[in-house]
Copies of this chain bind each other. A is one copy, B any other.
Amino acid sequence: MRLSRYFLPTLKETPSEAQIASHRLMLRAGMIHQEAAGIYSWLPLGFKVLQNIEQIVREEQNRAGAIEMLMPTLQPAELWKESGRYEAYGKEMLRITDRHKREMLYGPTNEEMLTAIFRTYCRSYKELPKILYHTQWKFRDEVRPRFGVMRGREFLMKDAYSFDIDEAAARRSYNRMFIAYLNTFSRMGLQSVPMRAETGPIGGDLSHEFIILAETGESAVYCHKDLVDMPSPGLDVDFDGDLQALVDESTALYAATEDVHDEEAFMKVPEEKRLSARGIEVGQVFYFGTKYSEAMKATVTLKGGGEQAVHMGSYGVGVSRIAGAVIEASHDEDGIIWPMAIAPFKVGIINLRQGDTDTDAACDQAHQVLENAGAEPLYDDSENRAGAKFARMDMIGLPWQLIIGPRGLKDGVVELKERATGERQTLSLDAALNLLEKQCVRSE
């Protein structure tokens, strides 16, 4: 993509309303534009990141056997009256009246709706187990939306729902999502720590939050230090196999969010391993048994006769929030440092002298080659001076920068800079393009 054809409205000044790095950098890098409190447009660069995050979440959901669908943003109030949550949800629920005076709401989550879909079509134990998910915009009318997309009102969430015959089977579904989440965040370059958590308005008695440690995190968390560099299970896990041992491994050491923190248990962790820190929640999994299926009569016939309310769980990933969380975890004074997997473009081409025939030709060639190879280049073909181009490229944080200028070309070389390390190397254009193809094109 040529910058002259793109829409990348970067800002020179730091917007005063932004209190944390991710919010500041998303505004400065031209990723988002605020439309109302906690409601954002995703400008082209931000949208690409959002798409990349959504796609990784999707691939790992599918790998774990979950089936994708899509529920609408608006829901009829009746469903929530059935479960008893219509009143309970309070002012965070955005309530709407349509032209025929019907009570609607903008969905904050979808337990009721999917339970109602399930009961319409599934009547037998033979239909189980099932995990269904969607990625859809939700709305929670926070009193004080803040931190950009980290605590927005309209936000994108992946939410999955599992249906099983009993608690043991439901636990297997829970484990599938648990392992899928560890892999999901790991693919995005995030080290997530699963922690015991409160179930809150979802209900149930088993829940884990997946936490990214970051100073600007909203919650206090407590865990054993070894969890912070525990490797993820890996993409070759057999999701049809028994995952309990893997889950046990990830939950054996102490890890809890503030709400369920047990100081006594924490004190049993060796002192040098005790970590009390701040964290950002990027996902949460719940097992809540028959809470919704009983209230809403989602039952199946049993093999030996009789009926059983299905055991359910739900599993959320904060897709739009992750864009901010990754930046909190990966930036420096100069700007964002994108992990390759979710970088909006993989390499930025910097033309040091726009208008110089040879330099323009070399940049055009690099752009063409990288685009054809699927290396997703962004070519800064603007008239700006080199300093401004460097600063902007550093700020938007693409993993690689390919720097091409007339002086280097005379010696037959270009420069390649890795954003994360700042390391620069001088090499021929061909060698640089080869290296970039290897680094930037996703192999499958």
Contact = CB atoms under 8 A, between A and B. Distances in A.
A173 to B, nearest CB: 13
A78 to B, nearest CB: 9
Contacts of A91: 99
B71 A7 contact: no
B99 A35 contact: no
A96 interface: yes
Interface residues of A, number: 51
A338 interface: no
Given A33-B117, A113-B35, A73 B137 contact: yes
B70 A73 contact: no
B69 A47 contact: yes
A317 interface: no
Interface stretch (A38-46, A285-293, A426-434): A38-46
Given A9-B121, A96-B94, A99-B143, A35 B154 contact: no
Given A7-B132, A137-B137, A141-B98, A36 B70 contact: no
A74 interface: yes
Given A41-B113, A41-B117, A96-B94, A36 B102 contact: yes
Contacts of A65: 5
Contacts of A137: 72-73, 137
Contacts of A68: 44, 47
A36 B99 contact: no
A322 to B, nearest CB: 15
Contacts of A71: 35, 41-42
Contacts of A46: 69
Contacts of A70: 41-42, 47, 50
This protein's copies in its complex: 2
A122 interface: yes
A43 B39 CA distance: 28
A76 interface: yes
A203 B190 CA distance: 48
Interface string A67-98: 11111111110000000000000011010101
Interface of A: 5-7, 9, 30, 33, 35-36, 39-44, 46-47, 50, 65, 67-76, 91-92, 94, 96, 98-99, 102, 104, 106, 113, 117, 120-122, 130, 132, 134, 137, 139, 141, 143, 153-154
Contacts of A40: 72
A181 to B, nearest CB: 20
Given A99-B141, A99-B143, A39 B74 contact: yes
A350 B71 CA distance: 30
Contacts of A75: 35-36
A79 to B, nearest CB: 8
Contact of A44 (B42, B69, B143): B69
Given A33-B117, A36-B74, A7 B69 contact: yes
Contacts of A92: 99
A73 B72 contact: no
A216 to B, nearest CB: 24
Nearest to A152: B72
A287 to B, nearest CB: 20
A359 to B, nearest CB: 21
B35 A72 contact: yes
A33 B98 CA distance: 20
Contacts of A47: 68-70, 134
A43 B114 CA distance: 10
Contact of A120 (B9, B94, B106, B143): B9
